[in-house]
Amino acid sequence: MDTQNPCKTGIVDYELGMPIGKAVATPAPCIAKLDPFGDESDAGLKYKTMTWWGILTIVAVGIISIYTGFTIGNLKSHFMQIHSMADAGGLLMGRAGQLALGIAQIIFYIFVMGSHVLTFSIMMNVLTDHASCTLLYSALGLLVSFILTLPRQLEKLSHLSSVSFVSIVMAILVTMISIVVSKGSPATIPLVSPAPAMHEACLAIANIVFAYAGHVAFFTMFSELQEIKDYPRALTLLHLCEMILYTITAIVIYAYVGPAVTSPALNSADYLYRKISWGIAIPTVCIESMRK
């Protein structure tokens, strides 16, 4: 009897990890290499539930965003008079289309601004340790956004956007590095994960779609290019950076934090590094609200 290699026995005591009984030949594959959960296709309780749907959704929405961005650019290059979604709606569906897309664009901008105000209040709560003033911080965020959007010229927007990009990348790097160092090893992901409810799944997908939702401003941005033919390179660079940043951030933070990851993800870091990350992200929070 070989006590070092259970594969040679075919009868194994799984509690003791030792072979028992008479040594017999084991048909291939070895029983020790078989799937411990077996075939779960008809099982009521499934253990093998981890999937790549989150990452696949990030990549898939990114690819769709690239395609739709190129479509917007092609339309703009053929009809230079289009400056907004409302203009595009008017070209496609007349007055009704112009009105419908114009109203939709305004509503979308309102919700985007609301998102930035919420982010500003979360940032201030973390930096000041005073969550009781959330409403006050929201009002302050609205005031800051209003003041920054008063100048209508965008000639220096590219420089501010560069500052915003560096700010958020550095904040994310600090968050990821601090999480990896503090956790030491990847989190233990539960083997049994309940299927999300419909509203939870829709919210998760909506968050990913919202992260790519800059298309509403593409017509305006393309109008200010010195050469409209430059838009493919700018668009490709934008979406490649987005897809890489979103994917790496999602994988690293979820791997080390697990289901306990918070939203925004910067709050997943420890107390001190959470403050540092939000402090670095201040330019992004303010500049992004101005851009919208």
Residue 16: which pLDDT band, with cuts at 50, 70 and 90? very low
Does residue 246 have a pLDDT over 60?
Answer: yes
Rounded mean pLDDT, 184-213:
76
Six-digit token string for 147: 């003041």
Q: Would you state the pLDDT for residue 90? A: 92
* CA–centroid distance for 3 within its chain: 50
Better-predicted residue by pLDDT, 127 or 261? 127
Mean pLDDT, rounded, for 169-177: 93
Distance CA 150, CA 14 (A): 71
Residue 188 has what pLDDT?
A: 62
What's the length of the chain? 292
Strands (DSSP E) along the chain, which ranges? 12-13, 18-19
pLDDT at 175 over 70: yes
Tell me the pLDDT tens digit for each residue of 48-98: 444 567 888 899 999 999 999 999 999 998 898 898 899 999 999 999 999
Supply the DSSP string of 17-79, one letter for each residue.
TEE-SS----PSSPGGGS-TT---TT-SS-S----SHHHHHHHHHHHHHHHHHHHHHHHHHH-
Per-residue model confidence as pLDDT tens digits over 99-146: 999 999 999 988 888 888 889 999 999 898 876 788 888 888 888 888
What's the pLDDT band for 41 if we cut at 50, 70, 90?
low
pLDDT at residue number 192? 54
Instruction: Please give the model's pTM, rounded to 2 decimal places.
Output: 0.71
**Is 145 in contact with 218 (CB distance < 8 Å)?**
no
